[in-house]
Amino acid sequence: MPVTIYKSPSPDLELAKVDLLTFIFSYPLGVSDSKPLYIDAISSKTRTFGDVKKRTRSLTKGLQDLGVKEGDVVTFFSPNSIDYAINCYAIIGCGATVSPVSSALNPTELRHQLATAESKFIIAHSSLLATARAAAKGTRVERVLQADGQKDDSGNDTTETLATNTAPGKLVTIPADRLSTQIAFICFSSGTTGAAKGVITTHENIVANIQQWNAHLARDLDHNAPLIAFLPMSHIYSLNLHLCTFVHVTTTMIVLSKFDLDVYLSAIQRYKVKDLILVPPVMLALAKDPRVQNYDISSLESIMSGAAPVSVALMQSLETQFKKRYGKTLHCFEAWGMTETSPLGVGMPMALHAEKRHQGIGTIVPNVQCRLVDAESGKDVAPPASENTGSGSFTMSEVGELYISGPNICAGYYRNEKATKDSFSIDDDGRRWFMTGDIATIDSDGIVKIHDRSKVWLCLPG
């Protein structure tokens, strides 16, 4: 069987070749500095777009004065907050790399990630400071900084204070010829199997994926309507969307430090949220938990689920309940990705495929190519028939492991050449294909469906 390459039904994009902060802060839709960017769901404390830009430049200068320099790795250890993005942006503004880690880690787990990333600094939330200090022992960490409050227990300024009091500095820009090698993030993932590994996400990877999100899925959203950010910002799913993509298109976000169903439902009701970005357990809660009836969530129009598979039955159940309660249509659909794909690789664009939303996880995003490969033979499986059979039916490819290639695919695993080599296949033309471990088909509409996993599913920690 010859190689069969599947592409997006949408044309490839002419991707911007700039560093992450330059791209995020370009704001193509325009925005007032006074518009709220992040709002705390409980306290209502707010950071505006102007606040975030100014505080990023100030904290960048403060971190540089403390010794953070280009090429360093800085671990950020914190629950979600309205200052999460500012800390990450400032690290990147120093020309350094952010390694965001789950706030659920214990000292042993954190020490492993610090050692793998060879972090020189940790910025930790006050509630996690003891864990950070314990984990730092025996690693290359030179200093542990507190993120929140005015001073730490030794009287040192926190990053919140540095962002408030330091004169704004200049952000380091990355030249075009280094975008494919300069690391923006090292997020930890179990990959397709095994222990947690540091995924190398370059400036080129993440900037490409922001543009892919915007072209493929974000056009379905009302950017003037707020979104809720409860997914852990240390995870690539939330890191991309809530710190990058939705900031770029100037969407206000309501931040939960941790998931609480009542706080979540209250935020939907209070802010008239239209679109939810969530994971299957939260979708299940919306369908099954009786507390949902205590809140008016009639503003909702769509729910996108990611990070793990969700059943068609659950999506249909939620849509049916919503229709019965409010007399309105709710669209539930999936998107697919991995930390290694930055993360979006496949998604269901509602503007094009609302009626097919339960046919699979969606279509391939622009600038990405996929293959389906038989695990035993290493050969590409038979594709679907070139044309539909009529009457709304479609044909399906044979089942194979999903291989993926594109500008959003990670360079590999940090300081782990073996895992990198084992996770990529090189074809006869020298192209690298990431072997996802997902067993899939692609139909004649270009819609991908995941059937199984040849290895372990990724988990969403935190």
pLDDT confidence of residue 219:
65
Segment 16-48, tens digit of pLDDT:
999 999 999 998 888 999 999 999 999 999 999
Q: Which residue spans within 104-245 are E strands per DSSP?
A: 121-124, 143-146, 183-189, 197-202, 227-229
Write out pLDDT tens, residues 291-342.
999 999 999 999 999 988 899 999 999 999 999 999 999 999 999 999 999 9
What local confidence, expressed as pLDDT, does residue 391 receive?
Answer: 47
Whether the pLDDT of residue 459 is over 50: the answer is no
Mean pLDDT of the region 119-126: 98
Angle at CA of residue 141, ends 135 and 145, nearest 5°: 85
Torsion, Cα 236 241 244 249, to 10 degrees, reads: 170
Compute the average pLDDT of residues 256-284. Answer: 97
Separation of alpha carbons 119 and 80, rounded Å: 21
pLDDT higher than 50, residue 266: yes
Tokens of 169: 């500095």
Per-residue pLDDT at 191:
53
Q: What is the mean pLDDT of residues 418-425?
A: 96
Task: Please give the pLDDT value at position 220.
Answer: 65
Q: Supply the pTM of this predicted model.
A: 0.95
In this prediction, residues 110-124 reach a mean pLDDT of 97
Token pair for 403? 């291989």
> Taking the C-alpha atoms of 239, 242, 245 and 247 in order, what is their torsion angle to the nearest 10 degrees?
-130
Question: What mean pLDDT comes out for the span 91-98?
Answer: 98
pLDDT in tens, 344-392: 999 998 766 678 888 899 999 999 999 999 989 999 999 998 655 444 5
What's the pLDDT at 216? 92
Per residue in 199-254, pLDDT (tens digit) is 999 999 999 999 999 999 876 677 889 999 999 999 999 999 999 999 999 999 99
User: What per-residue confidence (pLDDT) applies to 402?
Assistant: 97
In this prediction, residue 356 carries a pLDDT of: 85
136 close to 89: Cβ distance less than 8 angstroms? no
pLDDT tens for each residue of 142-199: 999 999 999 999 999 999 999 999 999 999 999 999 999 999 999 998 655 567 899 9
Arithmetic mean of pLDDT over the chain: 93
> Other CB atoms closer than 10 Å to residue 285's CB: what's the count?
16
Alpha carbons 272 and 255: distance in angstroms, whole number? 15
- What is the separation, in whole angstroms, between the first and last Cα of the chain? 43
Nearest to 241, CA basis, from 14, 12, 459, 24: 24
- Tell me, rounded to whole angstroms, the distance of Cα 361 from its chain centroid: 17
**Residues in the chain, how many?**
462
Domains observed in the chain: 45-185 (3.40.50.980)
